[in-house]
Structure 1
Amino acid sequence: MHGVATASGAITFVNALATGIGAAAAVTLDVEAEVDLEVDRRPGPGAITIAPPSDTPLVRAAVGAALERFAAGGTPTVQVRIRSSIPPACGLKSSSAVSGAVLAAVARAVGVATDAATLARMSADLSQRIGLSATGAFDDAFAALAGGAVITDNAARAVLWSGEAPTGLAVLLWIPTARHRPSTEWHDRFRARAAEARPAIDAALGGDLVRAMERNSELVESVLGYDYGELRRCLAERGATASGVSGLGPALVVLAAPERAEAVRNALASRGGEVRGVEFRPRARFALAEEAP
């Protein structure tokens, strides 16, 4: 049995660490998971083979959760291959995309019908269980699998709103070389400042995701100690509509009118690191359970 599935990277409008309410949108960074699976109904130890460098606790947890949910009752032999264009540990939701793609690929391999919300809840549960995410990052996982933009209650694993990301804007990512630590190490600091997250949440729930990004970044930069204030002012002078830290950073997302994108890109490039132009990914219109050929 063979299954292939993809999931997207995403960017942050509201970081969920402070209150459990998060907002994210899918972008055109991709993860593809390919699974070959055999299930022997006779008892035995089974075998899971994951091609390096993808053999991580997250991938093994995702394979295990998917087998338990979709292929219980047998002895599995699984081979997993993962290809990703998402830089890890910089706030662009690589973990949620990887786990979601693996879960979906196993479901496709065995022909089990499922949906983005179910897989996103599974991803959030396993990410929280292994200590990778303090909230489970249900917002990131749902955006990674469903596309579009989403506002969620991560504690309740509930979607509060889903739709399309803001239109008519170029999306630029500035990706410094540093990498962030797991969100579990920052959770208490964010929770202590939950009241300061309300302006971003209110803006998002009111339909203004662009303003939510700016207000969210003010809090995230303060908690994590990023000194992005001068850079963000410079970007605004170059024509950026909004900018903000994605996830725990250090990646910075910049939104700009298309005619201002080159000036913004040049300003980012002068700071070192990597600059990528991406697009918001629209809401998905595909069957997650379709078996790959």
Structure 2
Amino acid sequence: MDGRARAPGAGTVLNALATGRGSAFAIEAYTTASVSLDTELEVVTGEIAGAPDADTALIERCVELVVERFGDGEGGAVRTESDVPMAAGLKSSSAAANATVLATLDALGVADEDPTLVETGAIDRADACRIGVQAARDVGVTVTGAFDDASASMLGGVTVTDNTEDDLLAREERDWDVLVYTPDEQAFTADADVDRCERIAATADLVAEHALEGDFARAMTVNGFAFSAALEFPTEPMIEALPHAEGVSLSGTGPSVVAVGERTELEAVEAIWQERPGTTRLTTTQIEGATIQ
């Protein structure tokens, strides 16, 4: 009983730590999960390619929750491989969870013949996404539940959500080029200073208004300055991007910064950001979402 799926990472429009409302957009960077199930096994074991000491509790819990709902007590193994850097603010956990959930559904035969959907009447992709969100809460890798990040990764495009209720408030598609700058350090979401973020709730409400009106570029720029201040990240990369980008923000709880706009303009920013320690990636938005392979 084998399954395989992949899910994209994402960048931030609105960080949900302040108010519970968040927004994110999928990007062309992927995590792939392979799941093997066996009725003779009682436990689920996980492996993350290239990171033998990494915590595998999230992907193991994703398999367990899907099996509890659709399986018959199967155990097995899950392995993920990714070009989404971990603890960089690019939604690596959400991508891993989504890919694992879909791969497990595929292994159990729940998936439809259309590899972009899980539509047999048993579950749709939004509900599949919520399984991963619950797994993330169960193992403590998220503060808000990260339904904003997870929904963007699962559904593609740009999503706006209420993470307190796991409600999808809006989804739209944007054809942006995307530039990502990732410093060398890591920043784990579970370690973020929530109290400091809650102090900028009024600004987050303004960002949510812009996002719900479809003005995502302006929303992410306001978000970026506000949360960079709250989480004590430098704003200089954002200032460097502003003359060229349509929008720019700290992504998640950092340390990555994402800029969106036209490729030729972002190439000018890329040349500047490449002078900084770390890595840059020029990519695009992704509207397809997570898929069974």
Same fold (TM over 0.5): yes
Contact kept, 8 Å, 1:204 with 1:212, in 2: the verdict is yes
Once the two structures are TM-superposed, the CA of residue 285 in structure 1 deviates from its matched residue by 9.0
CA distance in 1, matches of 2:98, 2:105: 11
Q: Does 1:58 align with 2:61?
A: no
Q: Which runs of 5+ in 2 are unaligned?
A: 111-119
Q: How far has the Cα of 1:284 moved from its partner? A: 4.2
Shift of 1:210: 0.2
Corresponding residue SS for 1:282:
coil
Distance 1:284 1:256, change over 3 A: closer
How far apart are 1:184 and its partner, in Å? 5.6
Give the alignment's Cα RMSD to 1 decimal: 1.8
Task: Give the one of 261, 266, 275 matched to 2:271.
Answer: 266
- Paired letter, 1:203: H
What SS does the corresponding residue of 2:39 show, helix, strand or coil? strand
Q: Distance in 2 between matches of 1:2 and 1:61?
A: 17
For 2:266 and 2:171, the matched residues in 1 are separated by 27
Counterpart check, 1:35 vs 2:40 = no
Q: Give the C-alpha shift of residue 55 in structure 1.
A: 5.4
Distance 1:285 1:51 in 2: 20
Asked whether the 8 Å contact 1:213–1:242 carries over to 2, the reply is yes
Q: Are the aligned partners of 1:126 and 1:136 in contact in 2 as well (CA < 8 Å)?
A: no
The alignment status of 1:46 with 2:55, answered yes or no, reads no
Counterpart code for 2:277:
G
CA contact (8 A) 1:164 1:283 kept: no
Aligned partner (choices 102, 105, 128) of residue 100 of structure 2:
102
Percent identity, aligned pairs only, is: 34
Contact 2:196 2:231 in 1 (8 A): no
Aligned residue for 2:241? 235
* Mapped partners of 1:262, 1:184: distance in 2: 33
Aligned CA distance change for structure 1 residues 195 and 268 (closer, same or farther; 3 Å): same
Query: What amino acid is aligned across from residue 193 of structure 1 in structure 2?
Result: I
Residues 1:77 and 1:128: Cα distance change in structure 2 (over 3 Å): closer
Residues 77-124 of structure 1, C-alpha deviation per residue, up to 9 Å, x if partnerless?
312221111000010000011011111111111112432211211111
Structure 2 Cα separation of the partners of residues 117 and 36 of structure 1? 23
Whole-Å separation in 2 of the counterparts to 1:284 and 1:180: 25
SS of corresponding position for 2:168: strand
Any runs of at least 4 consecutive aligned residues in structure 1 with deviations exceeding 6 A, and if so which?
none
**Residue aligned with 1:160, SS:** strand
Report how far residue 159 of structure 1 moved: 0.5
Of residues 158, 171, 180, the one that matches 1:173 is: 180
Report the TM-score, using the length of structure 1 for normalisation: 0.89
CA 1:201–1:31 in structure 2 vs 1: closer, same or farther (change >3 Å)? same
State how many pairs are aligned. Answer: 278
Is the 8 Å Cα contact of residues 22 and 161 (structure 2) preserved in structure 1?
yes
TM-score (norm 2): 0.89
The whole-number CA distance in structure 1 between the counterparts of 2:25 and 2:248 is 14
Please, which moves more after superposition, 273-282 or 176-185? 176-185
Output aligned runs, 1:266-285, within 5 Å: 266-284=271-289
Which residue does the alignment assign to 1:257? Answer: 262
Preserved CA contact (<8 Å) 1:173 1:275: yes
| Equivalent runs, 1:160-199 vs 2, <5 Å | 160-165=169-174, 167=175, 169-183=176-190, 185-199=192-206
SS at match of 1:121: helix
Runs of 5+ in structure 1 lacking a partner? Answer: none
Does the 8 A contact of 2:197 with 2:231 survive in 1? no
